[in-house]
Amino acid sequence: MSAVSVFAPAKLNLFLAITGRRPDGFHDLVSVVAPLTWGDTVRAEAGTPGELTLACDDPAVPADETNLILRAERAWAAATGWAGGATFFLEKRIPMGAGLGGGSSDAVAALKALEALAGPEVRLAPTALAGVAAGIGSDCPLFLTGGPAVMRGRGERVGALPPEPAGRLTGRRVLVFKPGFSIATPWAYARLAAGAPGSYLPAAEAEARLAAWIGDSRAKAEGLPFNSLEAPAFRKFPTLPLLLEQLRSDFGVSAGMSGSGSACFALLPEGADAGAVAARVRREWGTSAFVREARILPPG
Ligand code: C5P
C-alpha cells in the first residue's frame, strides 16, 4: 500500500476514578472511556526511506519532535527495524488541552497507518504494539481497541466493556464543549496529588462503583459520569461547574468533564434539542467556545 487514511476518534472519560499515586510518579486509575464518531484524520504516504515527516492543516499544532505522531513513528520504526519512510498529514479537528485524547488518538492512528504502509511482514505482535503505544502516552493503548472500554493501571491495561453494558453506551448522542482555555494534564494531576490522600477515590470503592453500574442492566449511561480530576479543575475554573450545573437543572441532562479537561460533555436523550444546549454553552462561554455533537462509537 502506498497511501492510507486512518480515522483518529476523540474519546470521553465517562467515569474516571484516580485511585492513588504510583512509584513511577504516574497515577493509577479506573476509567470507562468511549471513543466518538468524530475526530481527526491521519493520512500517510510512502516516502523516502529513513525519512519521517509531518504536516498539519492547523498551524497551532506542533509538527516537530514533540508531536506524538512523530514519536509514534520513531518508536514503531525502532521496534520493528523498518527502514522505510513516510509522509504524514494530520487533519486536526479535536481541540488540544481538552482531555479528549486527540494527541494520543493521532499517535495510534499513525501506528495503524505505518502497519498498512509497511505490509504484513513488518507487523508487531499485539502485545508488542500495545507496549509501543503505552510508551507514547497513557491514553494510547485505549485507541488500539474499538468501542467503550475500561482502562486500568496508568492506562495501559485496557479491556472491552461486556456487550450488555457496552450496549448502554454505543450510539448515544453526546454534546462535547470546551471553553476558550485549556488545561494541561500534568497540572491537573499535580493539583490532585497536592490534596492526597483525600483527593483519591480508593481503588476498592472505584471498582465497587464500576461493578455496580456494569451489573445493573437498568443502569443508564446517565448514571456513569464521575471524574476525580473535576475537583482541581473546578477550583481553578469555576465557570466549568457553573455551566454544567445549569445544563443539568435547565435541560435535565447528565454532564461532566472529560479526562483532565477542559472539555466537558452532556449526554443527550434521543429527542433532545442539541441546538438549545449548544446555544446555552455559547451564551455562557462566548464565541471562543468549541461545541460539537457526536455519538459513542460501537466496538470494532
Ligand atoms: O502519559 P501522558 O503523557 O498522557 O501523561 C501526562 C502527564 O499526566 C504525566 O506526566 C503525569 O503527570 C500525568 N498522568 C498521571 N497518571 C496517569 C496519566 C497521566 O499522573 N495515569
Ligand 1 midpoint to CA 140 (Å)? 11
At 1 the pLDDT is: 77
Atom of ligand 1 nearest to the CA of 153: 21
Ligand 1 midpoint to CA 27 (Å)? 7
Cell of 142: 485505549
8 or 63, higher pLDDT: 8
Tell me the one-letter amino acid at 298.
Answer: P
User: Of the listed 11, 92, 112, 178, which one is catalytic?
Assistant: 11
At 300 the pLDDT is: 80
Distances (CA, A) of 92 to 8, 115, 160, 162, 216: 10, 21, 27, 32, 38
Atom of ligand 1 nearest to the CA of 27: 16
For cell 509531518, name the residue.
54
Look over the chain and give the mean of its residue pLDDT values, rounded to a whole number: 96
At 158 the pLDDT is: 96
Look at ligand 1, atom 3, and give the residue with the nearest C-alpha: 137
Cβ contact 297:146 at 8 Å: yes
Given a cut of 80, whether residue 78 has pLDDT beyond it is: yes
Residue 27, CB-side half-sphere exposure with 13 Å CA sphere: 29
Active site residue 273: no
Displacement of CA 83 from its chain's centroid (Å):
31
User: DSSP characters for 65-116?
Assistant: TTSHHHHHHHHHHHHH----EEEEEEE--SPSSSSS-HHHHHHHHHHHHHHH
User: DSSP characters for 226-267?
Assistant: EETTHHHHHHH-THHHHHHHHHHHHH--EEEE-TTSS-EEEE
Ligand 1 midpoint to CA 72 (Å)? 17
The mean pLDDT value for 126-130 works out to 95
User: Of the listed 106, 139, 220, 236, which one is catalytic?
Assistant: 139
Rounded Cα distance between 269 and 267, Å, is 7
- Model confidence over 135-162: pLDDT tens digits? 999 999 999 998 999 999 999 999 999 9
Mutate to test the pocket of ligand 1, among 28, 185, 191 (most ligand atoms within 8 A of CB): 185
**DSSP E strands: which ranges in 101-232?**
149-153, 157-160, 173-178, 226-227
51 or 231, higher pLDDT: 231
Residue 138, preceding peptide bond in cis (omega within 30° of 0)? no
Atom of ligand 1 nearest to the CA of 190: 12
Percent of all residues in the chain with a pLDDT value above 90, rounded to a whole number: 94
- Model confidence over 180-200: pLDDT tens digits? 999 999 999 999 999 999 999
At 118 the pLDDT is: 93
Tell me the one-letter amino acid at 282.
Answer: R
The mean pLDDT value for 45-69 works out to 91
Given a cut of 90, whether residue 283 has pLDDT beyond it is: yes
Given a cut of 90, whether residue 65 has pLDDT beyond it is: no
Ligand 1 midpoint to CA 263 (Å)? 17
Active site residue 11: yes
For cell 456513569, name the residue.
224
- Model confidence over 175-185: pLDDT tens digits? 999 999 999 99
Mutate to test the pocket of ligand 1, among 105, 140, 189 (most ligand atoms within 8 A of CB): 189
At 66 the pLDDT is: 87
Rounded Cα distance between 70 and 164, Å, is 38
Mutate to test the pocket of ligand 1, among 16, 27, 132, 228 (most ligand atoms within 8 A of CB): 27
Rounded Cα distance between 158 and 299, Å, is 13
Look at ligand 1, atom 20, and give the residue with the nearest C-alpha: 26
Given a cut of 90, whether residue 29 has pLDDT beyond it is: yes
At 64 the pLDDT is: 84
User: Which residues surround ligand 1 with Cβ inside 6 Å?
Assistant: 26-27, 29, 137-139, 154-155, 185-186, 189
The mean pLDDT value for 18-45 works out to 97
Residue 148, preceding peptide bond in cis (omega within 30° of 0)? no
Helices and strands: H and E segment counts in the chain: 9, 11
